[in-house]
Amino acid sequence: YLASLKKVTQYYVVTAFIALFIGVLLGPLQAFNYAGINVYENPILKALLKSYYQGLSLHGVLNALVFTQFFISGWLLYLPTRDMGARINMKFAWGTYIMMTAGLLIAAVPLLLNKATLLYTFYPPMEGHWAFYVGATIMVAASLLVAGQVVLTWVGWKKQNPGQVTPLVTFMSVSLWMMWLVCSLGLVAEALLVLLPWVFGLRPGVDPLIAKTLFWWTGHAIVYFWLLPAYISWYAFLPKQAGGRIVSEPLARLTFVMFLLNSTPVGIHHQYADPNISNTWKMIHMFLTFLVAIPSLLTAFSIAGSLEDAARARGGRGLFGMLTHLPWKDPVVVGQILAMVSFIGGGAGGIITASFAFSPVIHNTAWIPGHFHITVGTAVTQTFMAIAFWLVPHLTGKRLVAPKVALASMWLWFTGMMFFAVGMHWEGLLGVPRRALISAVALPIYKEGYMHSQIPMALTGISGVILLLAGLSFFYVLFATLLSPRVDDAEAATPLPYSETISPAGRSLRGASPLVRATEPLLALWVVAFALVALMYGPVLMRLTQNASLVPGCNYYTTVQSEVGCNEQR
């Protein structure tokens, strides 16, 4: 049974990293574009990719949507199952993996054929091939089945262990899957009620604003669906890996409950510039966005405390002892610390971006990709990469190949992302647009921005080279490890890095702290989360529906020169 559980997890994780590998190889092309170098004119690339937009669509979909979903599905199926000591239905687990992969393959065909060059936000009325929407819907449905399996396994555990505290890793995983079940409703509604009826010709057109609003219902919360699996590692595993302990277990539970309640009703901060949504709702979502930063701030101080504790336990003294005595040669620890350091900038940038007054300055500029590369590109992706350095040996019984290269890859990734982030935020402030091919068409239109951007453009170009090196060294280590022979008893050589103190078995709720008792009724809190979303999105969607107007679909980004998505009405 354990071997099969590990195998299915390994399939999820390896599929995720194959997607990331292709996505990462396409990354430097984007960085060079923001440095003013149009590599898409290169004859070899021209044979592979029809346009800048096809490259960007593949990069965004593979990295942000496919990599994250596969990794998280494997990671958050495996951890709580082990944590609860549960026996799950393995046929069902394999079935969801196969379903998710089938969805991916169906969506991949039109993407690769340039028939779904819609960028990772696939805003209508840009219209792609129906297979893209069908494949994406199947993928999301599969993730919901993983969510259901974990939540139901936990419900079963609660029945068998009445009056006991849910172990921490299970608590975090279950609350996260519950959050996904709330926040994915927007995307599910967009797919089933808007996109699929439209692409199959059952509706004459589409209301772009309704689709966009449903998209961002899921679209902001999805960033926490990506982030929180990294938080699980930071809270539950990193303290032990660094040699310390978790500062406060109840605080970790509070953090996850705050995300369960508050992640979703914030999406309108992506739509400050959109008509037909009142300023009142925009302001409410802005304040709720500031509120959702609080659990991350709690995490920052809590994890910094754990790291300080680790360094002191390792003999660190004085002001800087906390830094110097951390295990700086361990790629697992270093990768995660660097991911966190970059997230300080990513988080601060996000809070600034959320401000109603500042948003118009940077909305749709290069600032935005700058922001999300030091959130999802580092806090999340780099943490998952660092996790792979122990998870792959743990699942396979193989030893990490070339740990020094692994360590170097973490520093390179961090450095590359820092260059990219500084360059892109700076370009954005100067008015360089996002998602625009640097070309004879864009340059005169955005002349003012590009004219003053030589230094940030150079930084962005350099970042592309560093990140390519980082990616190549990381994937060398990962694939060489996967292809090496099995040498260890995985459970003994690389056990789960649990500290027993965070999840002692058989802990009674009665003796637990008030915070643990208050956060334990996850099912009731889940109902509150649904109610909050209904309250915060219901009136907005009702008004949009009353004012709906359908427009026909239009052509997707097809040519190298097209700066505008819908340049041809169907």
181 binds ligand HAS (CB under 6 A): no
Q: How distant, in Å, are the alpha carbons of 119, 126, 264, 402 from that of 122?
A: 6, 7, 20, 40
Query: Residue 87 Cβ, how far from ligand HAS at the closest point, in Å?
Result: 33
212-241 binders of ligand HAS (CB under 6 A): 223, 226-227
User: Toward ligand HAS, which CB reaches closer, 5 or 387?
Assistant: 387
Query: Residue 359 Cβ, how far from ligand HAS at the closest point, in Å?
Result: 5
User: Interface with ligand HAS by CB under 6 A: which range of 110-118, 186-194, 292-300, 498-506?
Assistant: 292-300
User: Interface with ligand HAS by CB under 6 A: which range of 17-25, 179-187, 348-356, 495-503?
Assistant: 348-356
Catalytic-residue membership of 253: no
Residue nearest to ligand HAS (CB): 347
- Give the type of residue at 376: V
β-sheet bridge partners, residue 551: 206
- Going by C-alpha positions, the residue among 262, 185, 263, 273 that lies closest to residue 541 is 185
565 binds ligand HAS (CB under 6 A): no
Catalytic-residue membership of 285: no
Query: Residue 16 Cβ, how far from ligand HAS at the closest point, in Å?
Result: 15
Q: Active site residue: 420, 434, 475, 557, which one?
A: 434
DSSP 193-205: IIIHHHHTTSSS-
Which positions ≥6 away from 564 have C-beta within 8 Å? Answer: none
Q: Active site residue: 82, 129, 220, 269, which one?
A: 220
Find out whether 409 and 473 touch, Cβ atoms under 8 Å: yes
283 binds ligand HAS (CB under 6 A): no
Candidate list 5, 380, 400, 516; residue touching ligand HAS; CB under 6 A: 380
- Give the type of residue at 106: I
Q: Active site residue: 373, 389, 425, 474, which one?
A: 373
- Going by C-alpha positions, the residue among 326, 335, 255 that lies closest to residue 296 is 255
Q: What are the backbone angles phi and psi of residue 172, rounded to the nearest 5°?
A: -65, -40
How many residues make contact with ligand HAS (CB under 6 A)? 36
Which positions ≥6 away from 18 have C-beta within 8 Å? Answer: none
Which positions ≥6 away from 250 have C-beta within 8 Å? Answer: 513, 515, 516, 519
**Pairwise CA distance, residues 86 & 77, whole Å:** 11
User: Interface with ligand HAS by CB under 6 A: which range of 34-42, 96-104, 243-251, 297-305?
Assistant: 297-305
Tokens 């609660």 — which residue?
Answer: 158
Q: What is the DSSP letter of 380?
A: I
**Pairwise CA distance, residues 336 & 340, whole Å:** 6
| 3-state percent helix, strand, coil for the chain, nearest multiple of 5 | 70, 0, 25
Catalytic-residue membership of 325: no
**Pairwise CA distance, residues 6 & 88, whole Å:** 12
307-346 binders of ligand HAS (CB under 6 A): 307, 323, 337, 340-341, 343-344
Q: Active site residue: 270, 371, 394, 425, which one?
A: 371
296 binds ligand HAS (CB under 6 A): yes
429-468 binders of ligand HAS (CB under 6 A): none
366 binds ligand HAS (CB under 6 A): no
Q: Dihedral through CA 30, CA 35, CA 41, CA 46, nearest 10?
A: -10
Catalytic-residue membership of 372: yes
Residues lying near ligand HAS in the complex (CB under 6 A) are found at 121, 223, 226-227, 269-270, 289, 292-293, 296-297, 299-300, 303-304, 307, 323, 337, 340-341, 343-344, 347, 350-351, 353-354, 359, 363, 368, 371-372, 375-376, 379-380
The residues that are catalytic are 220, 224, 371-373, 434-435
